[in-house]
Amino acid sequence: MPTDFRATRALFDLPERLCYLDGNSLGPLPRAVPARMAEALEAWRSRLIGGWNEAGWMALPGRVGDRIGRLIGAEAGHVTVGDTLSIKVHQALAAALELRPDRKVVLSDSGNFPSDLYMAEGLLRLMGEGRALRLAEPEALEDAIAEDVAVLLVTEVDYRTGRRHDMARLIEKAHAAGALVVWDLAHSAGAFPVRLARLGADFAVGCTYKYLNAGPGAPAFIYVAPRHADRAPPALSGWLGHEAPFAFDLAYRPAPGVERMRVGTPPVLALAALDAALDAWEGVDLDDLRAESLRLGDRLIEGVLAACPSLALATPREPSARGSQVSFRHPDGYAVMQALIARGVVGDFRAPDILRFGIAPLYLGDAEVDRAVATLAEVLDRRLHDDPALRRRAAVT
């Protein structure tokens, strides 16, 4: 049966009269989360330290990881959850580099999320030995893959423009050149079908607070392909990545498989929220999700281009070349977005001039898209963004 997106919408606690198109930055609250967190709090209250065994807390990273794995096309037992996305980028990149010890170059693109590039710079500086981060323009990334590249570090969907890299082509080209690939799925997981195993991905990481709706600061995930899982060196050799944590050995021995990518104590309350949020995906066909996402994205693009001639489309028109967000450029983009938000239509802004709108069919439909178009047209036609108060930038844009 086709996915009933009217039914999935009822699973989210969205404020009345708010048109929310910012799930590509922070997803809304799933209705199942408060009760699940209350259960975790009660287990903490009543069982105290016994909860690690009696409530299954220690197994949460792998169990929840498998639930995410089904959304990103991973093999069972090869995704674990915990820590932050930056830490997971560091782990995956360090492991991939050590698997290619004869090469010194990490290749990425200028559209990658800055945090990924910062983590790469810091790691390469620590490793020394002439290692370098090389950047290409997003459209030229495939052609920049050369025989000296150790690792290709790619965020599949550009956080600003929504442009989507061709995962299959980049993996094929990188592997042919002898390089490994680390994928950042922050704007992919829960946005459209991802097929890591089918395409032969090496490593992947991602966050869970965007399209997976797990809440602010929710933990990140890491995937390691089976062929690398028992060979990938864990650069952050944390206690819970040890083969036998409760033997309390003084020397580190990595756990088998992806378990070695665990670092610190599982964030139990955050994992409870994530586990509950993933319930919304039960019965959702990801191909249906993609079709609805593209339909709504086209509706937004066509509506805005017809009603708002002062905006320039930053997102590719070609469906296969975009993720699940639509972005426009405007020289007063920040003020325009603040005017929209003041009128109950929530997207966000990315410097220098990008207005972003996330398309999340689990809780968005035609009515929200049409309201966004009409409100944006009103703001621009009446120059409501000229209010000086709307130009004062908050700490988070």
Query: Per the structure block, which two tokens stand in for 116?
Result: 């990924």
Marked catalytic residue, from 20, 209, 223, 334: 209
What is the DSSP secondary structure assignment for residue 235, as one 8-state letter?
S
> In sequence order, which ranges of the chain are alpha helices (DSSP H)?
5-9, 33-47, 51-54, 60-72, 85-98, 114-127, 167-176, 196-199, 226-229, 268-277, 286-307, 333-342, 366-381
Active site residue 209: yes
Beta bridge partners of 108: 135
Marked catalytic residue, from 5, 12, 113, 223: 113
Distance CA 196, CA 228 (A): 14
Marked catalytic residue, from 163, 210, 260, 322: 210
The helix/strand/coil state of 189 is coil
CB-side exposure of 270: number of CA atoms within 13 Å?
A: 19
Q: Is the Cα dihedral 336, 342, 344, 346 positive or negative? A: positive
Marked catalytic residue, from 109, 356, 357, 363: 356
Marked catalytic residue, from 184, 202, 275, 353: 184
Q: CB of 369 within 8 A of CB of 20?
A: no
β-strand pairing of 221-224 with 203-206: antiparallel
Active site residue 249: no
| DSSP string across 345-396 | EE-EEETTTEEEEE--TTT--HHHHHHHHHHHHHHHHTTGGG-GGGGSPPS-
Query: Per the structure block, which two tokens stand in for 267?
Result: 């964030």
Active site residue 357: no
Which residues, at least 6 apart from 135, have a Cβ–Cβ distance to it below 8 Å?
107, 108, 109, 110, 112, 117
Active site residue 66: no
Query: Per the structure block, which two tokens stand in for 135?
Result: 């950047």
Q: CB of 122 within 8 A of CB of 159?
A: no
Task: Give 309-317's long-range contacts (Cβ < 8 A, gap of 24+).
Answer: 310/380, 311/355, 311/376, 311/380, 314/160, 314/161, 314/162, 314/354, 315/161, 315/162, 315/163, 316/161, 316/162, 316/163, 316/164
What is the DSSP secondary structure assignment for residue 142, as one 8-state letter?
G
Active site residue 9: no
The helix/strand/coil state of 84 is coil
216 burial class (0-12, 13-18, 19+ CB within 10 angstroms)? exposed
Query: Per the structure block, which two tokens stand in for 136?
Result: 């290409």
Catalytic residues: 113, 184, 209-210, 356
